[in-house]
Amino acid sequence: MPRLLRVLTGVAILGFALTFYLGFFVAGRDIEQGEIQRIFYIHMPAFFGAFTAFGATVLGGVIYLWRKSDIWDKIALAGVEVGLAFALVNLVTGAIWARPIWNTWWTWDPRLTSAAIMALTYAAYLMLRAGIEDPNRKRAFMSVYGILAFVSVLTTLFIIRVVPETIHPVIVGASPQNAQGSFEATSGVITALVPSLLLWLTLMPITLIWHRVRLENRIEAVRRLKLSVLSE
């Protein structure tokens, strides 16, 4: 394992432990929402982690189409796998928060709907990728798909700022009129949120994407070895 990746992995694990401590032991309990509000310190950063990972897919796709270098296709694929896991963390923690606060696990609110469509779009990426046999065609097609799929990420990010009929709260800036479950960005919230956001936005996706790219390199190497053994 490269030394930089070892360092990144160690820092990411320590960072996860630190942000967990800040969010669950240092930040105060929200007196209106109770303990469940603490899940926000994972819920929102997980979305931004997915944003970074899917951003890596766009970057990988664009550079692959430009240079036809396989490594960028591997980064794009790794971005989807990691981003999808983060998007699932975001969706599941949101649903569990909604049960005591909104009195329902799920509602077809614009933000929730767009987040679900985003996750399904990237799940479809993995299924489609598995279904195309020609490697070059697969890489080119999935690069274009990965770039276009990012529209669902941007839609999810901005929809609560343009569609007023949402109950999803906004923490940075004024919440929509119908928002339920808002809370103030007090110093305690900021103290716990900013390190967590930094971690999920940068270290976690980058480290996991790098590990996944190394795995893909190994898969490719074994595949080549198998072919060479079979051809002997």
Partner 1 sequence: MRPMKRLIALLLPLLAINGILAQEEESQVPYFQSSAFNVPRLGGWEDQSTDTVAQFYYSPANATIRTAMAPEEDILAAVRQDLRDLVGTALGDQIYDGKVNLADGTWRSLIFEPDEVTTISVMARKAGSQTAIISFVERDPALRTVLLTLAQADDSLEDASPEIARAAKIIAGIDMKYLAPVEITALLSGEWIIYEGDGFTAMGMVFGNDSYVALQEGAPGDLTALVEAYNRTLLGFFITPDNSGYLALALAAVFAILGGLILSFYWRWRHLRQELAMIARLQAE
Contacting range for partner 1; rule: CB under 8 A; set: 110-118, 122-130, 148-156, 213-221: 213-221
Quick one: which of 10, 26, 68, 99 contacts partner 1 (CB under 8 A)? 99
Instruction: Tell me: does residue 32 bind partner 1 (CB under 8 A).
Output: yes
| CB proximity list for 125: less than 8 A, separation 6 or greater | 80, 142, 145, 146, 149
Under 8 Å between Cβ of 142 and 76: yes
Distance separating alpha carbons of residues 221 and 226, to the nearest angstrom: 9
Contacting range for partner 1; rule: CB under 8 A; set: 110-118, 124-132, 160-168, 186-194: 186-194
Quick one: which of 97, 125, 145, 150 contacts partner 1 (CB under 8 A)? 97
Contacting range for partner 1; rule: CB under 8 A; set: 81-89, 117-125, 129-137, 174-182: 81-89
Instruction: Tell me: does residue 185 bind partner 1 (CB under 8 A).
Output: yes
Under 8 Å between Cβ of 211 and 58: no
Residue 153 Cα distances to 50, 101, 145, 226, angstroms: 9, 25, 13, 38
Under 8 Å between Cβ of 46 and 131: no
Report the Cα–Cα distance between both ends of the chain, in Å, rounded.
31
How far apart are CB 131 and partner 1 at their closest, in Å? 19
Strand partners, 107: none
Instruction: Tell me: does residue 161 bind partner 1 (CB under 8 A).
Output: no
Contacting range for partner 1; rule: CB under 8 A; set: 115-123, 141-149, 159-167, 223-231: 223-231
Instruction: Tell me: does residue 200 bind partner 1 (CB under 8 A).
Output: no
The candidate with the shortest Cα–Cα distance to 78, out of 129, 117, 116, is 129
> Which one, 52 or 114, has the nearer CB to partner 1?
52
Binding track over 101-140 against partner 1, x by CB under 8 A? ----------------------------------------
How far apart are CB 85 and partner 1 at their closest, in Å? 4
Under 8 Å between Cβ of 106 and 112: yes
The secondary structure of residue 178, as a DSSP letter, is: T
C-alpha radius of gyration, the chain, whole number = 20
Q: How many other C-beta atoms can be found within 10 angstroms of the C-beta atom of residue 208?
A: 22
Instruction: Summarize as ranges the residues that interact with partner 1 (CB under 8 A).
Output: 2, 4-5, 29-36, 38-39, 42, 46, 48, 52, 55-56, 59, 69, 71-72, 75, 81-82, 85, 88-89, 92-93, 96-97, 99-100, 172, 184-187, 190, 193-194, 197-198, 201-202, 206, 208-213, 215, 218-219, 222, 225-226, 229
